[in-house]
Amino acid sequence: MTAAGERTTTGAGEQMHALVERLYPLCRSITGDGVRATLDIVGEYVPLQVHEVPTGTQVLDWTVPQEWNIRDAYVADASGHRVVDFAASSLHVLGYSVPVSATMPLTELRARLHTLPDHPAWVPYRTSYYEPKWGFCLAQETLDALPDGEYEVCIDSTLADGHLTYAEHVVPGQVQDEVIVSCHVCHPSLANDNLAGIAVATFLARALAETTPYYTYRFIFAPGTIGAITWLARNAERVERVKHGLVLACAGDAGQLTYKQSRRGDAEIDRVMRHVLTASERPHHITEFTPYGYDERQYCSPGFDLGVGSLSRTPYAGYPEYHTSADNPDFVSPEAMADTLAVCREAFAVLDRNRQYVNLSPYGEPQLGRRGLYDSLGGRSDAKQAQMAMLWVLSLSEGEHSLLDVAERSGLPFSTVAAAADALHDAGLIKA
């Protein structure tokens, strides 16, 4: 990445963190006004096309559920003091809790209270999307301090026919073939999972919009699982255009970058991510595909078999703060999000530029000097490397090897190989 690009990405880190902090208080779920409010804010950064899919709509093997909204919830002691308060954190309520208004003894209420005994100061994140339940989440130390007695319990929520909401942003390319970038928008106050992914996706879209990309880039902001399934069900005619894809999640913690390969394992996005992460000398992990995790498993399901991988820092459930109140804005950093964004930009630059070429002078080595190609290298610190890149491109331009193949086989930087291909193309020695 250029120095200007590095400055832009670093500056974006602070802006991404500010976006995370702004989104953090909202109560998101797989449906509801929290998702809409989240998309409204993202829409201030990039224009979105918002879709509303009615309850009961059949989407592949699933059905769009009822919409859940919540206004208030609390557990209050005999004096009226709220010992658990939804207004303090959206994590305090079991996601999709049905409404309740009752008074009951602590002995009865305990069955509805969720804690983390191993981390007594943290509040867990729990849901019950597809089974009508209600409950509260709180710190174990709060529960331990509650005296026996009667408690007022209130969950002011609605579970009724409505809609599932998701949104798209498209950066037009030179061709209609698409790269999808997907992130989930269904978690409440969790900064790394999922807000950092939303922030990186948003600023990646903004960065791409400042270029003229080869591919068309489609950004999908949707609830996890049911949202991706809904998008696939509603875009069957478009799926064949999707050539590559990336799911973003857990994008802001201090851990090393982790790339989870597509189900194919040898999709072009897999090769590009391996190359970029290795060439950058960043500490990183490459993991095999498993049919569990984020929405890569929907895009990679056998019927679609799209080349979609997943980029995160520490993977899901790989850090103690995962799905707890400790996953707050202090847990993610501008520097980590900037680094994730930089890797995405580097990878998409390779993906966008990767081509196969045909050598138009394949019988013997063409004379580069009389075409001024050697002269063009004068004064370059990497002149020898650039010359080798030209020879490698000529050698492997038979219509079967891509520039990424050339970079991998030669051990040369992809940017050097691409520049060599540009020079050879301009000299009329190769064609795409």
Residue 371: per-residue pLDDT: 87
pLDDT > 70 in the chain, percent: 96
**Distances 224 to 65, 153, 220, 431 between C-alpha atoms, Å:** 13, 30, 11, 43
Buried b / exposed e across 65-86, counting CB within 10 Å, b at 16+? Answer: bbbbbbeebbbbeeeeebebbb
Average pLDDT over residues 387-413: 95
The stretch 303-307 carries a mean pLDDT of 97
User: Could you read off the pLDDT of 105-117 as tens digits, one per residue?
Assistant: 999 999 999 999 9
Q: What torsion do the CA atoms of 352, 354, 357, 363 make, to the nearest 10 degrees?
A: 150
Of the candidates 300, 305, 322, 301, the one whose C-alpha atom is nearest the C-alpha of residue 313 is 322
From 70-84, 215-229, 367-381, the region with the lowest mean pLDDT: 367-381
Residue 269's H or E segment, with its range, is helix 268-279
Q: What is the pLDDT of residues 9-21, one digit of tens each?
A: 668 999 999 999 9
pLDDT score of 379: 54
Read off the pTM. 0.94
Give the domains, in start order, of the chain with CATH numbers: 3-65+164-353 (3.40.630.10), 67-160 (3.50.30.90), 356-431 (1.10.10.10)
Type of residue at 314:
T
pLDDT digits (tens, 9 = 90+) for 191-247: 999 999 999 999 999 999 999 999 999 999 999 999 999 999 999 999 999 999 999
Average pLDDT over residues 287-312: 97
Q: Is 239 exposed, middle or buried (0-12, 13-18, 19+ CB in 10 A)?
A: middle
| Strand intervals (E) in 10-117 | 49-54, 58-59, 62-63, 67-76, 82-85, 100-105, 113-114
Q: Which of 154, 247, 220, 199 is nearest to 18 (CA)?
A: 199
Q: Which residue has the tokens 């009951």?
A: 104
Q: How far apart are CA 179 and CA 228, in angstroms?
A: 15
pLDDT of residue 4: 44
C-alpha–C-alpha distance, residues 38 and 227, integer Å = 15
Q: Tell me the mean pLDDT in the region 59-79.
A: 98
**What is the four-CA torsion angle of 120, 121, 127, 128, rounded to 10 degrees?**
40
pLDDT at 7 over 60: no
What pLDDT score does 393 carry?
97
Mean pLDDT, the chain, integer:
95
Residue of 134, 122, 67 whose CA lies nearest to 94: 134
Q: Which helix (H) or strand (E) holds 420?
A: helix 414-426
The region of weakest confidence among 37-41, 265-269, 369-373 is: 369-373
Four-point Cα dihedral 333, 337, 343, 346, nearest 10: -120
Query: What pLDDT does 340 receive?
Result: 98
255: Cβ contacts below 8 Å, ≥ 6 apart: 313, 314, 318, 319
> What are 117's two structure tokens?
């005994």
